Amino acid sequence: MVTRGFTGRRPIPPYADRIPPGQHLVHDFPVLSAGPTPTLARADWTFTLRVGPRPIKRWTWEAFNALPRTAFTRDIHCVTTWSKLDTRWEGILVDDLLADAGLAPPTEYLLAHSFDGYSTNVPLADLTLGRGMIATHYDEEPLAPDHGGPARLVVPHLYFWKSAKWINGLQFTTRDEAGFWELRGYHMYGDPWREQRYTDD
Ligand SMILES: Nc1nc2c(c(=O)[nH]1)N[C@H]1C(S)=C(S)[C@@H](COP(=O)(O)O)O[C@H]1N2
Ligand SMILES: [Mo]
pLDDT tens-digit series, residues 45-84: 999 999 999 999 999 999 999 999 999 999 999 999 999 9
C-alpha pair distances (Å), 95 with each of 38, 117, 119, 130, 148: 27, 24, 20, 7, 20
Residue 5 has pLDDT above 60, yes or no: no
User: Of ligand 1's atoms, which has the minimum distance to the CA of residue 29?
Assistant: 21
* 21-29+45-194: CATH number: 3.90.420.10
Ligand 2 centroid–CA 52 distance in Å is 26
Q: Does the beta carbon of 180 sit less than 6 angstroms from any atom of ligand 1?
A: no
What percent of the chain is predicted at pLDDT more than 90? Answer: 92
Distance of CA 191 to the CA centre of its chain: 12
Closest C-alpha to ligand 1, atom 21: 31
Please give the pLDDT value at position 6.
55
Provide the whole-model pTM.
0.94
Closest to 164 in 3D by CA, of 156, 155, 172, 152: 152
* CA torsion through residues 179, 191, 82, 163, sign: positive
Q: Specify which residues 91 forms β-bridges with.
A: 70, 135
**Mean of the pLDDT values across residues 86-93?**
98
Pocket test of ligand 1: the residue of 27, 28, 32 to mutate, having most ligand atoms within 8 Å of its CB, is 32
C-alpha pair distances (Å), 187 with each of 179, 191, 201: 10, 9, 7
Closest to 32 in 3D by CA, of 183, 135, 162, 137: 162
**Mean of the pLDDT values across residues 175-198?**
98
Closest to 108 in 3D by CA, of 176, 62, 159: 176
Please give the pLDDT value at position 7.
58
pLDDT tens for 112-133 read 999 999 999 999 999 999 999 9
Confidence of residue 8 (pLDDT cuts 50, 70, 90): low
Residue 35 is which amino acid?
A: G
Q: Which ligand is nearest the CA of 31, by number?
A: 1
Please give the pLDDT value at position 9.
64
Please give the pLDDT value at position 2.
52
**Mean of the pLDDT values across residues 191-200?**
98
Please give the pLDDT value at position 14.
75
Ligand 2 centroid–CA 80 distance in Å is 6
Ligand 2 centroid–CA 44 distance in Å is 27
Instruction: Report yes or no: 190 and 130 within 8 Å, Cβ to Cβ.
Output: no
Residue 138 has pLDDT above 80, yes or no: yes
Instruction: Report yes or no: 59 and 1 within 8 Å, Cβ to Cβ.
Output: no
Q: Does the beta carbon of 34 sit less than 6 angstroms from any atom of ligand 1?
A: yes
